[in-house]
C-alpha cells in the first residue's frame, strides 16, 4: 500500500475510534464504514478488522444490533482473538433475542476473560429468562461487585407496591382515556416473554419496560399477530427496577412507561411519543 493510502486508513481508524470513545455513534459508524472500504481495497486486514469492530459497536449503541452483528462477525473473521468484538457480538445476539447463541458467545468471552462484568451480567439475564433464579442471582451479584456503577442493586419494591404505583399512574389519566381503557387489561410481569419480543420484526429488546398487545383504538384488523387478541398493556417489573435510580425514580418510570403504552393504544407511534417526552 502506498504511504498516502496508508495514512488515510490510519487517520480514519483514529477518527472512528475517537468518535466511538466520545459517544458520537453515528459519526463513528460513518467513519468506520469509509475506512473499512479503503482498508479492504488497500489490503490492510488489521485496520479493516478494527474498523469493522468500531462500526459494529457504534451500531449496537444506536440500537441496531441486527445491523451490528455482521460487522462484528467480520471483525472476528479477520481477528478471531478480538475480545472486544466477541463481547459486543454476544451482547448483540442477546438484543436480537438469540439467547442460546448469546449464552455460548458470552461463555467463550468468560473463558478468556473471567471477570468481564458485561458478559457476567448478561449471562445473568439469560439465566433469569430461563427461570434459573440461583444462577441469575449469582451472576448479578458478581457483576455488581466487579462494576458497581454499571450494575447497581435494583430498586426494591414488592409486587403489591408495584401494582399500587400502576394504579396511581392510571388514576392520573384523563377520564376519557380511562373509559377507552375499560376493556384493556393492565398487567405486570417480571420480564418479557419470547412471544412478546418476537412479535416484532426486528425483535424487541429483552430490556423493554412495557408493551401494548393488540390493535390501536379504532384500528381495523391487521397482520399484527396480537391484533386478534383482546388488547392489553404489560409492564415488566424487573426491567423497570433495574433501570430506576431510586424508589421515586421507579414510580416515575412506571408512570412514563404506562403513558407510553397507552399512547400506542391510542395510535401514537414512537416519533409521536418522543415528541411528547414519552420515549
Tell me what pLDDT residue 224 has: 52
Question: What are the φ and ψ backbone dihedral angles of 234, each rounded to 5 degrees?
Answer: -120, 135
Contacts of 105 (CB under 8 A, 6+ apart): 86, 89, 90, 93
The length of the chain, given as a count of residues: 279
Per-residue pLDDT of the chain (279 residues; tens, 9 = 90+): 455 566 788 898 999 999 999 999 999 999 999 999 899 888 899 999 999 999 999 999 999 999 999 999 999 999 999 999 999 999 999 999 999 999 999 999 999 999 999 999 999 999 999 999 999 999 999 999 999 999 999 999 999 999 999 999 999 888 888 888 888 899 999 999 999 999 888 999 999 999 998 877 665 455 455 455 578 999 999 999 999 999 999 999 999 999 889 888 887 655 644 554 444
Tell me what pLDDT residue 1 has: 47
Question: Which secondary-structure segment (H or E) carries 188?
Answer: strand 185-189
Tell me what pLDDT residue 278 has: 42
| Pair 86, 118: CB distance under 8 Å | no
Q: Show the cell assigned to 175.
A: 377520564
d(CA 127, CA 183): 35
Tell me what pLDDT residue 4 has: 58
CB atoms within 10 A of CB 141: 14
Tell me what pLDDT residue 218 has: 62
This prediction's pTM: 0.89
Tell me what pLDDT residue 279 has: 46
Amino acid at each position: 500500500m502506498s504511504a498516502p493510502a496508508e495514512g488515510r486508513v490510519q487517520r480514519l481508524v483514529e477518527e472512528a475510534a475517537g468518535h466511538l470513545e466520545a459517544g458520537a455513534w453515528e459519526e463513528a459508524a460513518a467513519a468506520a464504514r469509509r475506512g473499512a472500504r479503503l482498508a479492504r481495497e488497500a489490503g490492510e486486514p488489521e485496520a479493516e478488522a478494527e474498523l469493522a469492530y468500531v462500526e459494529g459497536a457504534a451500531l449496537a449503541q444506536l440500537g441496531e444490533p441486527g445491523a451490528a452483528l455482521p460487522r462484528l462477525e467480520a471483525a472476528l473473521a479477520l481477528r478471531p482473538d478480538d475480545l472486544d468484538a466477541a463481547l459486543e457480538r454476544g451482547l448483540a445476539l442477546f438484543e436480537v433475542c438469540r439467547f442460546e447463541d448469546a449464552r455460548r458467545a458470552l461463555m467463550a468471552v468468560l473463558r478468556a476473560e473471567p471477570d468481564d462484568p458485561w458478559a457476567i451480567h448478561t449471562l445473568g439475564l439469560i439465566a433469569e429468562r430461563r427461570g434459573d433464579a440461583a444462577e441469575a442471582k449469582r451472576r448479578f451479584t458478581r457483576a455488581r461487585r466487579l462494576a458497581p456503577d454499571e450494575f447497581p442493586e435494583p430498586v426494591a419494591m414488592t409486587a403489591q407496591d408495584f401494582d399500587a404505583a400502576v394504579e396511581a399512574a392510571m388514576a392520573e389519566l384523563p377520564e376519557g382515556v380511562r373509559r377507552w381503557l375499560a376493556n384493556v387489561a393492565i398487567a405486570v410481569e417480571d420480564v418479557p416473554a419470547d412471544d412478546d419480543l418476537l412479535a416484532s420484526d426486528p425483535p424487541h429488546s429483552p430490556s423493554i419496560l412495557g408493551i401494548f398487545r393488540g390493535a390501536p383504538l379504532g384500528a381495523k384488523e391487521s397482520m399484527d399477530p396480537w391484533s386478534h387478541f383482546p388488547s392489553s398493556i404489560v409492564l415488566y417489573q424487573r426491567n423497570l427496577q433495574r433501570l430506576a435510580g431510586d424508589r421515586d425514580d421507579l414510580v416515575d418510570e412506571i408512570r412514563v412507561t404506562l403513558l407510553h403504552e397507552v399512547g400506542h393504544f391510542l395510535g401514537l407511534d414512537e416519533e409521536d411519543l418522543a415528541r411528547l417526552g414519552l420515549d
